[in-house]
Amino acid sequence: MTASLLDLVKTRTVLFDGAMGTELMARGLGPGVPPELWNAERPDAVREVYAAYYEAGADIVSTNSFGGTPLKLAAHGLDGRALELNRAAARLAREAAPAGRYVAGSMGPTGKFLTPQGPATEADLVAAYAEQARGLADGGVDVFIIETQYDLREALAAIRGARSVSPLPVFVTLTFNSFPRGYFTLMGDSVARSVAELEKAGAAAVGANCTLTSEQMVGCVIAIKTATSLPVIAQANAGQPVALADGTIGYSQTLEDYVRFVPAIVSAGAGFVGGCCGTNPDTIRAMVRVIRGEEKI
């Protein structure tokens, strides 16, 4: 019997994984192909990425379902397969997970704005996330992670959707930008307000991912920690994408530079730590070393 993640995080820092899309691209995922389709068409490649993160030392791997709401899949004409593709994403992760490790069902933004900025109603979003959550729960995830959300209202709708179909814990990360007045989402939700609302809506852990570098993430974690007693999640980007001389894309933070700020992220109060854009299994391996090193102290 595996201990609950929420119990585990009380005893030590828990490691998430890093980026998924770029790992699939390295295995041949072409531009314009939704990564979720590979859960059905290239299950071995998806399983291989999961396994690489577990092998690197991640306690939790997030499923290849970031764009897996039916609203998002509709852009590729795949909305009718949402249930199947999410279930497959979770099953493959379950198969790859060694005993005692965890699977988080990734739920990213629908890409639709809520009224009045866009066409979507809250009911549309709740229904979309509910369907995705149903697939992920069927496939055997331990928790949901609603991530990279830039609109607090969408994140709240996602929580409602998940909770309407499953009793599993719901983790939420928003993506904040850094301003002189503090950290805000694209829609202008402050850290304090976001965290309070997410907690009230029943989130089991809250945090930030994407956009911020590992250096910037330290301040953001401090702000989140100040606003909540829930466990805090931090998954920073390795800086910004940059075009390299050979025509490929890299990220502005080197592995060493990225990992350098991990101890500060942990001591700022993040219980769940992982990577986002520009990170890979090597990043997670290095983070594990740093965090374990700390634990000896």
Residue 120 is given by DSSP the state B
- Specify whether the CB–CB gap between 105 and 144 falls below 8 A: yes
Q: What is the DSSP string of 122-182?
A: HHHHHHHHHHHHHHHHHTT-SEEEEEEES-HHHHHHHHHHHHHH--S-EEEEE--EEETTE
Q: How far apart are CA 276 and CA 30, in angstroms?
A: 20
Q: Which of 7, 98, 180, 229 binds another protein (CB under 8 A)?
A: 180
Q: Which of 40, 165, 187, 192 binds another protein (CB under 8 A)?
A: 187
Q: How far is the CB of 111 from another protein (least distance, A)?
A: 7
Q: Is 76 in the site for another protein (CB under 8 A)?
A: yes
Q: How far is the CB of 21 from another protein (least distance, A)?
A: 8
- Tokens representing 74 are 């509709």
- Scan residues 90-149 and list those touching another protein (CB under 8 A): 111, 113, 116-117
Q: How far is the CB of 286 from another protein (least distance, A)?
A: 22
Q: Is 184 in the site for another protein (CB under 8 A)?
A: yes
Considering only CA atoms, which of 241, 237, 99 is closest in space to residue 178?
237
Q: How far apart are CA 126 and CA 164, in angstroms?
A: 9
Number of residues that bind another protein (CB under 8 A): 24
Q: Is 186 in the site for another protein (CB under 8 A)?
A: yes
Collapsing DSSP to helix, strand or coil, 97 comes out as coil
Q: Is 42 in the site for another protein (CB under 8 A)?
A: no
Q: Which of 6, 25, 40, 83 binds another protein (CB under 8 A)?
A: 25
Considering only CA atoms, which of 220, 221, 251 is closest in space to residue 237?
251
Q: Is 26 in the site for another protein (CB under 8 A)?
A: no
Residue 190 is given by DSSP the state B
- Scan residues 223-252 and list those touching another protein (CB under 8 A): 240-243, 247, 249
Per-residue contact string for residues 189-228; x = within reach of another protein by CB under 8 A:
----------------------------------------
